[in-house]
A and B are shown apart, each in its own frame.
Chain A
Amino acid sequence: MRPLRQLRHETNPLIFVTLTVITAISLIPFLWVIANAFKDNTEIFGSASLLPEEWHLRNFGAAWMDGQFGVYFLNTVIVAVATTVISVAIAAPAGYAFAKTQLRHASALFYLYLFGITLPIESIIVPLFYQIKDMGLVNNLWGLILALVGTGVPFGVYLMRSFFRDLPDALAEAARIDGATEWGIFFRIMMPLATPGLLALAVFSFLSAWNEFFLSILLLLNNDTRTIPIGLVQFRQQNMSDYGALFAAITLAIIPSLLIYIVLQRQFISGLAAGATKG
């Protein structure tokens, strides 16, 4: 998403002002939360200024001790990384099979996957919960990971198929003539060429797993298995009146996302845009 367009004209000041206002609307809630995290409760109630008059760190200590944010963070990393790795590992070969091999009845099977993209997971949440319960995976990070991989399959395969379909056949043909096996062509030639697509799917899977809320509230009931979103909501229920600690907890929940976003923001934006428009 590099240069939009080379426009050689003065920017209308009204445009600039409107943009600044909208950007402020995006930004102010975060600044307010973070500033309040450094205030004590009397100042949160009484003071009119955005910045704290005195900077307190007590709230962060309270949030860290009460909330086990270290555990939540670790759980979230496990869920996000495992979901991403497994999703890409199973969706890439399947997308390749649909795009570049001659499988009989492939189109019927592909329609079955397409159906899964439109099916809202909300409609199967009840039996899905009992199924994972029957597998003994409630309160186990793997229950969530497997469910996220499974429900993510249709979109992942669809996305990978569109990326593989755009790759030229010539290289594979040349390798076939040189005596490469079908597996060699897939692993050594097609997979490396599909790297941008793999990255787009990885970004998408990572972010959805990191932020997952709908299944997690059902599956992660115990404090040791909670992820950041569930942990934060739980923390609020238990600390309704300690406002400072809650603001610190929100800040702790935002920090990892913010850091990842700063490092990978280009990949995030282009990966999610590709996911949305190809999907």
Chain B
Amino acid sequence: MDAPLHPPVAFRRTRSLGRLWQANRVPIVLLSPSLLFYVVFVLMPLGRAFQLSLTDWDGIAANLNYVRAENYSHIWTDSRFLTSLWRNVIWWVMHVVLGVGGGLLLAILISEVGRGRFVFRTVAFFPHVLSLAVVGVIWGQLYHPSIGLINTTLERAGLSGMARVWLGDPSLALYSVGIASGWQAYGFYMVIFLAGIQSIDPQLYEAARVDGASAWRRIWDITIPSLHNTMTVVLTLAFISAMKGFGTVWAMTQGGPGYASELVAVYVWRTAFQTGAIGRAAAAGLSLALIVIAFSFIFNRWRDKVGQYT
């Protein structure tokens, strides 16, 4: 019998896989460990999150009961979830005003100061080095109604009327936690802005000096406009980090009182591990992912476009 002209399909495939291996042995070996970790701890859970989001699993039942898109239609009409999403927007604004704004102010002032830069920078950055949990516990004590530094200082200043139960009052809790989070963040943004200021052409400042420009003119006309690109990076970072907000809230209020300081990540957590509505929590988590990914994508496209003209 004559030998077949073409090898069987399966054989051909192993041949080409073999060739792929031969040609790319080095990169494949270099990449495999990272790919293995990535698949096992990110991509597989992601696939399973999608699967679970289509079920009403409670974390215990042996079989998965599929309910189609019911979890998605539930959360997108659920005022608790939608309010938690809105709180993330408030959280982002606070993060931008206190964290980014404070960081920008600090960076500009530090770049203007002749002496003591090192000390200011080192102290302001330190809170960022701590765990969100540690900062949450510290601020929980600062806000303590009777022994906290904030209320005792107000009382000593004769302003006891302004003392509040900062974390226990539903109308204040989110903002109180947001201030703590902003306090931790401004040193981080300061460092990024300082790197941006460093890359500004010194000749611009030289020219300003020759013209006898004041410090304010120098800041307003040179430093701030030159930080345009840094600013776009920082605002993206701030958005992503605000959408993921969890640690500070969890360490201070666990989303309470009631739902008053519940962000989406806290909603996911409570729904999954306290209520046991795993499917719904998975749907909420994936919705959050979709928002963050869509925003990052749009923002990057926009930045590339703007970047071409500046």
The answer to whether A and B belong to the same complex is yes
Q: Which residues of A contact B (CB under 8 A)?
A: 1, 4-12, 15-16, 18-19, 22-23, 25-30, 32-33, 44-45, 48, 89-91, 93-94, 96-98, 101-104, 106, 109, 112-113, 115-116, 118-131, 146-147, 149-151, 153-154, 156-157, 182-183, 186, 207, 210-214, 217-218, 228-230, 232-233, 236, 243, 246-247, 250, 253-254, 257-258, 260-261, 265, 268-269, 272-273, 276-277
Is A119's CB under 8 angstroms from B188's CB? no
Q: Which residues of B contact A (CB under 8 A)?
A: 20, 23-24, 26-31, 33-35, 37-38, 40-42, 44-46, 48-49, 52, 59, 102, 105-106, 109-117, 119-134, 136-142, 146-147, 149, 152, 156, 183, 187-188, 191-192, 194-195, 197-198, 202, 205, 209, 215, 233, 237, 240, 243-244, 246-247, 250-251, 264-265, 268-269, 272-273, 278, 281-282, 285-286, 288-289, 292-293, 296-297
Is A211's CB under 8 angstroms from B132's CB? yes
Is B198's CB under 8 angstroms from A119's CB? no
Is A246's CB under 8 angstroms from B141's CB? yes
The distance in angstroms between the C-alpha atoms of A104 and B20, with both chains bound, is 8
| Chain A residues with CB under 8 A of B37 | 90, 146, 149-150, 153
| Chain A residues with CB under 8 A of B183 | 25-26, 29
Is A15's CB under 8 angstroms from B131's CB? no
Is A250's CB under 8 angstroms from B134's CB? yes
Question: Known contacts being A11-B115, A122-B265, is A26 close to B123, with CB within 8 Å?
Answer: yes
Is A94's CB under 8 angstroms from B34's CB? yes
Is B250's CB under 8 angstroms from A277's CB? no
Is A126's CB under 8 angstroms from B265's CB? no
Question: Known contacts being A186-B30, A229-B134, A261-B126, is A116 close to B49, with CB within 8 Å?
Answer: no
| Chain A residues with CB under 8 A of B40 | 131, 150
| Chain B residues with CB under 8 A of A118 | 240, 292-293, 296-297
Is A125's CB under 8 angstroms from B133's CB? no
| Chain A residues with CB under 8 A of B297 | 118
| Chain A residues with CB under 8 A of B156 | 48
The distance in angstroms between the C-alpha atoms of A118 and B299, with both chains bound, is 12
A97-B31, A130-B48 given; 6 more Cβ-contact pairs under 8 Å: A8-B209, A33-B141, A48-B156, A119-B292, A150-B37, A213-B131
Q: Which residue of B lies closest to A211 (CB)?
A: B131
Is B288's CB under 8 angstroms from A269's CB? no
Is A276's CB under 8 angstroms from B198's CB? no
The distance in angstroms between the C-alpha atoms of A108 and B198, with both chains bound, is 35
Q: Which 6 A-B pairs have the closest CB atoms?
A: A150-B41, A211-B131, A123-B289, A229-B133, A127-B48, A123-B285
